[in-house]
Amino acid sequence: MKIKQVSVFLENKSGRLREVAQILGDAGINISAFTVADTSEFGVLRLVVDNPEEAFRILKERHFSVRTTDVLLVNSSNKPGALSQLLNILSEEGIFIEYLYAFTMNDDNAVFVVRPTNVEKCHTVLEKYKDDLNGKGK
Amino acid sequence: MIWNEKIECASRDEMAAIQSIRLERTVRRIYHNIPSYRAKMQEIGIMPGDIKSVEDISKLPFTNKSDLRDNYPFGMFTVPMSEIVRLHASSGTTGKPTVVGYTRNDLQMWSEVVTRALCMAGVHKNDIVQVAYGYGLFTGGLGLHYGTENLGATVIPISGGNTKKQIQLMQDFGTSVIACTPSYALYLAEVMKEMGIAPGSLKLRIGIFGAEPWTENMRREIEAKLKIKAIDIYGLSEVVGPGVSCECSHQTGMHISEDHFLPEIINPETLEPVKNGETGELVFSTITKEGIPILRYRTRDLTRLIYDKCDCGRTLVRMEKCKGRSDDMLIIRGVNVFPSQIESVLLEISETEPHYLLMVERDGSLDVLKLMVEVQEQFFSDEIRELEALRKKITNAIQSTLGVSAEVRLVEPKTIERTAGKAKRVIDNRKY
């Protein structure tokens, strides 16, 4: 499934992440998953939220550098080998990944957040293997 | 030793007479050769005949750095290019440098004033002078070089950088005089210490330091660390280069070779001459130059003039160490930097008005330029490698445009303080 991920530029200073969390919390926006990519001086906070348009608007209003990026959510079974299975598929299909992270929904299901270089191509590939990844295939 | 006693110890009347004749001649030369300056004179109704003596100088219009830029490259030259034997250039505010051209006579005059400066500093023909100013388009290296040769001393044309080699040659060749920026002198002292070399073991006795402002504290530090006499030399390429003025061993102001460079002090706001001895902006008219003579050039340096006879015997007017600038120019490791240059670099990269803050600090003895750039939407990619690439692109662009390296830091929007809508662009934390 293709969704909008919200990315925020943050300096490596204490309290920055807290401020973003506070703003989103106050606005009633739920965060399903997030990750921080960091360097020694700055980081990029990437968020999967229930209302990306609203999150974008509010953070922009508060003068954050924020943007939305198309990413793919991939449902997977929550069991050993699931990540390797996904990566095998992408590798064989020649899909290059900029970054990815994951979260688990419950004991049975996990979700990968994938940012491929070519979103459309990756989307098509993953649709094809949807059932395999879900553990519903053969 | 006084190199040219007749001139350097002339009475005020004698000097004024020389200056008046030369000024009159220069005004005529410029009026007939430089259309842009002629237009300025005509606009205020001044003809060359109105300038009869140095007293009349304040009737003349000013020349600004922008005039040189507008006439880039050779529009301010008053001789055909066949008469020009050398070009020098300094970095400009919008990418275009300021070009100056020298005739053979100009180079001879320049050597003469640098030789006077070296003698003021206490250098004699038995000295070995290591010129660690940059050689090239910058006037520092070659200016000192030919002045040293003209004096008959030995010159080591090592140019800037390569610090360990500088120190090695000082040891091996018995360098007695070093010419460089004052901050580089402190750096040399640090490296010597690291290398375990006691400055007292070297033959070094005099340092000739210029191209950037420095304080009396810095002088004391350099003198103590290098065990030398630290002499301040002043100059700018638009006037001639180093050697416009220099301290004598009494270190009480820099003697201006005023038979070639006529100084004035003006109030930078009203543009009127200040009262004798008051501080203001230094303005120079070159009264013997052929290639690119210049009338009432606004240096933007703030200082005052001292007309009393010096204990060294010279009567040449002295200027105090410069106290600052009447514009926003910064001097970083001897390189002139205008915030507007940074702005145009960022503008080119982002295509919108950038928000940035320049911080200048002194790390040990070297100036460090830090540039904070707000990551606005047009900059922001959510991929780290693209942000890193952006940072690198800005760093490289600054280096190639300004000729000075900067530590670039990406910061969040609105983190740079804005005063009354306009951002504060420069914080200079150096203690001069």
The number of beta carbons lying within 10 Å of the beta carbon of residue B50 is 12
Q: Is residue B372 part of a domain?
A: yes
Give yes or no: residues B249 and B349 share one domain: no
Report the CATH number at residue B201: 3.40.50.12780
Average pLDDT over residues B88-97: 70
Angstrom CA distances, B259 to A61, B16, B122, B273, B307, stand at 64, 9, 21, 20, 14
Q: How far apart are the first and last CA of chain B?
A: 31
Test A65 with B375 for CB contact under 8 angstroms: yes
Name the minimum distance, in Å, from the CA of A11 to any CA of chain B: 6
Name the minimum distance, in Å, from the CA of A67 to any CA of chain B: 8
pLDDT, greater one: B163 or B419? B163
The pLDDT tens digits of the residues spanning B267-325 come to: 999 999 999 999 999 999 999 999 999 999 999 999 999 999 999 999 999 999 988 88
Q: Is residue B48 part of a domain?
A: no
Give yes or no: residues B296 and B358 share one domain: no
Average pLDDT over residues B389-417: 87
Last residue of a domain, one of B279, B303, B327: B327
B287 contacts: CB under 8 Å, gap ≥ 6:
B19, B22, B23, B25, B26, B259, B260, B261, B262, B293
The number of beta carbons lying within 10 Å of the beta carbon of residue A96 is 11
Give yes or no: residues B292 and B211 share one domain: yes
Per the structure block, which two tokens stand in for B79? 């001789």
Give yes or no: residues B320 and B368 share one domain: no
Last residue of a domain, one of B327, B362, B397: B327
Give the dihedral sign, CA B174/B178/B184/B189: positive
What residues of B are in contact with residue A39 (Cβ under 8 Å)? 384, 387-388
Test B382 with A7 for CB contact under 8 angstroms: yes
What residues of A are in contact with residue B379 (Cβ under 8 Å)? 65
Last residue of a domain, one of B327, B352, B387: B327
Per the structure block, which two tokens stand in for B373? 């750039």
A44: nearest CA partner in chain B: B382
What residues of A are in contact with residue B384 (Cβ under 8 Å)? 37-39, 44
**Looking at the predicted structure, is the pLDDT value of residue B431 above 80?**
no
The number of beta carbons lying within 10 Å of the beta carbon of residue B239 is 24
What is the H or E stretch that residue A67 is in?
strand A66-77
Task: For chain B, say whether A35 makes contact (Cβ under 8 Å).
Answer: no
Give yes or no: residues B151 and B293 share one domain: yes
Q: Are B212 and B219 a contacting pair, CB within 8 Å?
A: no
Task: For chain A, say whether B386 makes contact (Cβ under 8 Å).
Answer: no
Domain count, chain B: 2
- Which range marks the domain in which residue B400 is found? 332-428
Give yes or no: residues B294 and B340 share one domain: no
pLDDT band at A134 (very low <50, low <70, confident <90, very high): confident
What is the H or E stretch that residue A115 is in?
strand A109-116
pLDDT band at B91 (very low <50, low <70, confident <90, very high): low
What residues of A are in contact with residue B410 (Cβ under 8 Å)? 9, 11, 41-42
Give yes or no: residues B318 and B379 share one domain: no
Q: Rounded to whole angstroms, how far apart are CA atoms B268 and B301?
A: 10
B388: nearest CA partner in chain A: A39
pLDDT band at B419 (very low <50, low <70, confident <90, very high): low
Q: Which of B377, B410, B415 sits opposite A67 (nearest CB)?
A: B377
Instruction: Tell me the pTM.
Output: 0.74
Give yes or no: residues B142 and B205 share one domain: yes
**Looking at the predicted structure, is the pLDDT value of residue B418 above 70?**
no
Q: Is residue B12 part of a domain?
A: no
Q: Is residue B26 part of a domain?
A: no
Give yes or no: residues B294 and B364 share one domain: no
Report the CATH number at residue B349: 3.30.300.30
Q: Which of B388, B412, B414 sits opposite A10 (nearest CB)?
A: B412
Test B413 with A99 for CB contact under 8 angstroms: no
Domains along chain A?
2-68 (3.30.2130.10), 71-134 (3.30.2130.10)
Q: Strands, E, within B333-376: which ranges? A: 335-337, 356-363, 366-374
Q: Is residue B315 part of a domain?
A: yes
Nearest one of B192, B251, B196, B194 to B225, comparing CA atoms: B192
**Looking at the predicted structure, is the pLDDT value of residue A108 above 80?**
yes
Q: Are B209 and B321 a contacting pair, CB within 8 Å?
A: no
Task: For chain A, say whether B380 makes contact (Cβ under 8 Å).
Answer: yes
Interface test with B, best of A6, A65, A119 (most B CBs within 10 A): A65
Average pLDDT over residues B39-55: 96
Backbone angles phi, psi at B94, to 5 degrees: -125, 35
How would you classify the pairing of strands B366-374 and B356-363? Answer: antiparallel
Q: Which of B376, B384, B410 sits opposite A37 (nearest CB)?
A: B384
Give yes or no: residues B117 and B246 share one domain: yes
* The total number of residues written for chain B in this structure: 432
Average pLDDT over residues B259-270: 96
Per the structure block, which two tokens stand in for B29? 């030369």
Comparing A4-8, B169-173, B222-226, B366-370, which segment has the lowest mean pLDDT?
B366-370
Give yes or no: residues B309 and B242 share one domain: yes
Name the minimum distance, in Å, from the CA of A62 to any CA of chain B: 10
Q: Which of B388, B409, B413 sits opposite A65 (nearest CB)?
A: B413
Average pLDDT over residues B251-263: 98
Give me the pLDDT at residue B432, please.
Answer: 57
**Looking at the predicted structure, is the pLDDT value of residue A122 above 60?**
yes
Q: Is residue B170 part of a domain?
A: yes
Establish whether this prediction's ipTM goes over 0.85.
no
pLDDT, greater one: B355 or B264? B264
Give me the pLDDT at residue B424, please.
Answer: 67
Q: Is residue B265 part of a domain?
A: yes
The number of beta carbons lying within 10 Å of the beta carbon of residue B279 is 15
Q: Is residue B355 part of a domain?
A: yes
Nearest one of B107, B144, B111, B151 to B289, comparing CA atoms: B107
Give yes or no: residues B251 and B379 share one domain: no
Average pLDDT over residues A85-105: 92
Share of chain B above pLDDT 90, in %: 71
